[in-house]
Structure 1
Amino acid sequence: MDRAPRPPGGEPGVTHQPGRPDQSMTLLREVVERPLDPGYAAAAQRRAEGRAPALPWWRKGIVVVLAAALGLGAVWAARELRAPTDGAGDARALLLSQVSDGAARGQQLRADNAALVEQIDRLQEESLRGTDPEFLERVQLLTLNAGSARVRGPGLRITLDDSRDAQAGEPGADLGRVQDLDLQVLANALWSAGAEAVAINGHRLSGLSAIRSAGPAILVDLAPLARPYVVEAVGEPGDMQARLTRSTGGAHLGTLRESFGISVSIEETEELVLPGTTARTLRHAEPLEGHTEREDG
């Protein structure tokens, strides 16, 4: 049987037209080629030709009234959300009053403690002056070395203050604030430079003193400090300033001034009066047995 050749993909004698490559994507073609719905297109054409029906005045009025009501409602809601409620304001006022009362009570307790320490020293001196003056002299020397006695003498007064941006509260100016580390470095540098007594904002430093931070506040022996920070050191002013300049503490002060804008001023003074510290309680150290007898012998 003779087989006539057939066109590929169909019956003999049937002509096949080539289809579109995107024939199976009818929906996508409609979206791309005709993005506007026919109804919207007809309405737009009527408006362009001036044949669109005009809205009645009462419908326009309703639209205006609804828009004004929505705007007023949005403004009222925003004001209500931003305005603090009475309960929040009362709670904040109560917390502020408690903080103020606590700070005042702490200041009063520190003043009472200082007065009691002075009274104890006076009574101790009166009791030992007539009975054992040599022992009294030794006690006075020990209290002087421990930082418990008031001292007077020449020295340096170094003042640190926050940068102008930090004082103005500019964003990103936190590095321009004096930190507890800065005061620690300066105090250690002054001790190494030959200082015999050091105080920060009137708080005497001793072997038991701690300089630390609590949030943005700097504390010395748990007492908060306020800027500017005045560091006073008793000793020979010229030698101390020369040694401080050559030390890492002097380099740290230069970095604070040049890189962070912190104000640093150093002043030599002929007479400084530093109070004694009230931190005298040893928590861990105990005297060795027989140490006093060997010294006396």
Structure 2
Amino acid sequence: MNVATGRRPDESMTLLVEVMESPLDAGYAQAARRRAAGERRHRSTLALLGLLAVLLGLMTVAAAQQLRAPVEGVSAREVLQEEILARQATAEDLRERSAALSAEITALNEETLAAQDAELVDRLRLDGVTTGSVAVSGPGLVVTLSDGAVGTAQDGSATSAPVQAIDLQRVVNALWASGAEAISVGGERLTSVSAIRHAGQAIMVDLVPLPGPSYAVEAIGDPEEMQTAYARTDAPAYTQLLSSQYGIGSSLETADSLELAGVGSQLLRYAEPVEADVSPDEDQEGNP
């Protein structure tokens, strides 16, 4: 007689039941669970990195736009221009002070020498006019050169024909040859050691830049004689060539009164022969 005890019929087949119900080992199942959790974390990490990259890109674009946008206020170019103008004003004040002191020294020298040698004083005054150390005034000629008009080339770029340093040199040399007693270019008095040259795009007289676009060459002397002699030089034909080929303007006018400032006293430059340490006889003996 069978009596019910509440036990499973397959209780004696526990191993087979576990194989049927749990075909995977417990270790494999745990590894699968960890892998699934890792994939979820990896996906969340990728999403976070993508969001960070988008934010960095937006910040970079905003910074670039701010750099390209015009900055309100004073630019570096304006600051530099103001500094250049201030330095030029300082240099001009120093030149005026130097000229005033030189004039005072000249007056004292003339006062001292007048009682001793009047002819020497007159000769010094004439030398001062020639060297440009003293201010002079009188009638003369004014030759003006102006930059050519700005045009447009075939490729669309802007073209211009500015006055060159050699153009002013040709005019100045012609005026000296015509009998000029004193000359200034752009308000700068020429001396016996003056130089007219280019520095970049600027024309300079004794390291002083001349403001363009017009350059006035003032020469003191007899206007009629100078004008006649100037017409015989090659300067009029040269300026006519500049006008026809480059559009550079030129004009010649007589002036009843011109005033040219002096540059003050100048240092004299001279050379001395170098004395040889060895006499020619000793040199010949040492070098047969």
The answer to whether the superposition gives a TM-score over 0.5 is yes
Distance 1:105 1:229 in 2: 23
Q: Deviations over 1:90-141 (max 9, x none)?
A: 5444433332322122111111111111111111122222233222122112
- The letter for the 1-side match of 2:223 is P
Which of 113, 119, 126 pairs up with 2:98? 113
Which of 181, 195, 204 pairs up with 2:166? 181
- 1:277 matched to which residue of 2? 263
Distance 2:79 2:138 in 1: 46
SS of residue in 2 equivalent to 1:280: coil
Identity %: 42
The 1:133/1:216 distance shift into structure 2, 3 A limit, reads same
SS of residue in 2 equivalent to 1:206: coil
Distance 2:233 2:198 in 1: 24
- The letter for the 2-side match of 1:253 is T
Query: C-alpha displacement at 1:143, in angstroms?
Result: 1.7
Query: C-alpha displacement at 1:261, in angstroms?
Result: 1.3
SS of residue in 2 equivalent to 1:267: strand
* Contact kept in structure 1, 2:181 and 2:219, CA below 8 Å: yes
Distance 2:184 2:117 in 1: 32
SS of residue in 2 equivalent to 1:131: coil
Distance 2:256 2:110 in 1: 29
Distance 1:79 1:162 in 2: 41
- The letter for the 2-side match of 1:209 is S
Distance 1:240 1:275 in 2: 21
The 1:89/1:271 distance shift into structure 2, 3 A limit, reads closer
Distance 2:76 2:256 in 1: 51
Distance 2:222 2:157 in 1: 42
Q: Is residue 2:121 matched to residue 1:145?
A: no
- 1:44 matched to which residue of 2? none
Runs of 5+ consecutive residues of structure 2 not aligned to the other structure: 1-57, 273-288
SS of residue in 2 equivalent to 1:209: coil
Distance 1:100 1:152 in 2: 29
Distance 2:238 2:62 in 1: 54
Distance 2:149 2:62 in 1: 39
Distance 1:90 1:284 in 2: 48
Distance 2:164 2:265 in 1: 23
Q: How high is the TM-score relative to the length of structure 2? A: 0.63
- 1:238 matched to which residue of 2? 224
Distance 1:171 1:178 in 2: 20
Q: Is residue 2:241 matched to residue 1:260?
A: no
Question: Hey, which bits of structure 1, 4+ residues long, moved more than 6 A?
Answer: 75-78
Q: Deviations over 1:124-169 (max 9, x none)?
A: 1222222332221221122222222222332111112212327xxx
The 1:134/1:114 distance shift into structure 2, 3 A limit, reads same
Larger Rg: 2
Greater shift after overlay, 195-204 or 240-249?
240-249
- 2:14 matched to which residue of 1? none
Query: C-alpha displacement at 1:180, in angstroms?
Result: 1.2
- The residue correspondences of 1:68-87 to structure 2 (distance < 5 A) are 80=66, 82-83=68-69
Q: Deviations over 1:235-262 (max 9, x none)?
A: 2223322332332222221112221112
Q: Deviations over 1:155-201 (max 9, x none)?
A: 111112212327xxx94433x21121111111011111221211112
- 1:122 matched to which residue of 2? 107
The 1:199/1:84 distance shift into structure 2, 3 A limit, reads same
Query: C-alpha displacement at 1:84, in angstroms?
Result: 5.0
Runs of 5+ consecutive residues of structure 1 not aligned to the other structure: 1-71, 287-297
- The letter for the 2-side match of 1:230 is A
Which of 198, 205, 209 pairs up with 1:220? 205
